[in-house]
Amino acid sequence: METKNYIFCALDFSDLEQTISFTKKIKDHVGGIKLGLEFFTKNGPRGVEKLKKMGLPIFLDLKLHDIPNTVKQSLRNVLDLSPNYVTVHLSGGYKMIQELKDIKQETKIIGISLLTSLNDEDLKNMGYNFGQKVFISNLVKAGVKAGVDGIVSSPKEVKELKKNYKDLIFVTPGIRLSTDKKDDQKRIESPRFAVQAGSNILVIGRPITKSKDPLKSIEKIIENIDHDK
């Protein structure tokens, strides 16, 4: 696989024209784009349709999480856009995820276990008496049983999960070079670490979108992945 195809740029903008303009700038240098709640709540399906015209794979990061029927109907609506990937929270439960299998068509359902902005201390504050390793393992096991196509996982968990779930698509946020700001990410690693661990898609936002030279930043990410190949 061409190295650039690992990179899905997280376009966490609200402004549609800004998003289109930025996509035009990077589209030949990345493997796809991720559109999240910040974009979708402002621009809706119309905005996604405009971005699809760029010809890049679309990762629609809506983090669906509700009662099974609500999530199923929401996914039906989203499928009209033919996204390549849609995210759901694994904590929505087995039934919520299982009911998506029959309607998902060609779209891949990607399960979210623990946000990379959270760690053991956060879990403790939320009332859990076990750490992130057990928390993630339990959710992934249930998600796989329910039929997810892939998992969102921090770089630190991918290698271990890959041993047991070789056929899953592993999507990894929390990617930073040593020179990047951590921002609000707590469980981070380098692009090369993530790819070597088994990640299939690297979701990278601010290190690219906040860069004074986005194309140079992408080039550095690709160089990091290719180093010592």
Active site residues: 63
Q: Which CATH architecture has domain 3-226?
A: Alpha-Beta Barrel (3.20)
**What would the pLDDT profile of 101-119 be if each residue is shown by its tens digit?**
889 999 999 999 877 777 8
Residues above pLDDT 70, as percent of the chain = 94
**What would the pLDDT profile of 142-191 be if each residue is shown by its tens digit?**
999 999 999 998 888 898 899 999 999 999 988 888 665 554 444 558 89
Q: How many CA atoms lie within 13 A of 122 on its CB side?
A: 11
Q: Find residue 172's DSSP bridge partners.
A: 202
> How many whole angstroms separate alpha carbon 173 and alpha carbon 39?
18
pLDDT of 184 reads 46
Return the ∠ at Cα 165 (arms to 193 and 89), rounded to 5°.
85
**What would the pLDDT profile of 203-216 be if each residue is shown by its tens digit?**
999 999 999 999 99
17: tokens are 């024209």
147: tokens are 């039929």
> How many whole angstroms separate alpha carbon 172 and alpha carbon 193?
11
**What would the pLDDT profile of 33-58 be if each residue is shown by its tens digit?**
999 999 999 999 999 999 999 999 99
> How many whole angstroms separate alpha carbon 50 and alpha carbon 168?
29
Residue with tokens 């650039």: 4
> How many whole angstroms separate alpha carbon 91 and alpha carbon 8?
24
How many other C-beta atoms are found inside a 10 Å radius of the C-beta of residue 27? Answer: 15
Handedness of CA 84, 67, 135, 181 (dihedral sign): positive
pLDDT of 127 reads 85
Q: How many CA atoms lie within 13 A of 32 on its CB side?
A: 18
61: tokens are 């990061």
pLDDT of 117 reads 78
Residue 151 CB contacts under 8 Å (≥ 6 apart), including other chains: 90, 110, 111, 112, 113, 140, 143, 161, 165, 168, 169, 170, 171
Residue 105 CB contacts under 8 Å (≥ 6 apart), including other chains: 79, 82
Query: In whole angstroms, how far apart are CA 170 and each of 69, 164, 199?
Result: 26, 12, 5
- Sequence spans of domains, the chain: 3-226
How big is the chain by its Cα radius of gyration, in Å?
17
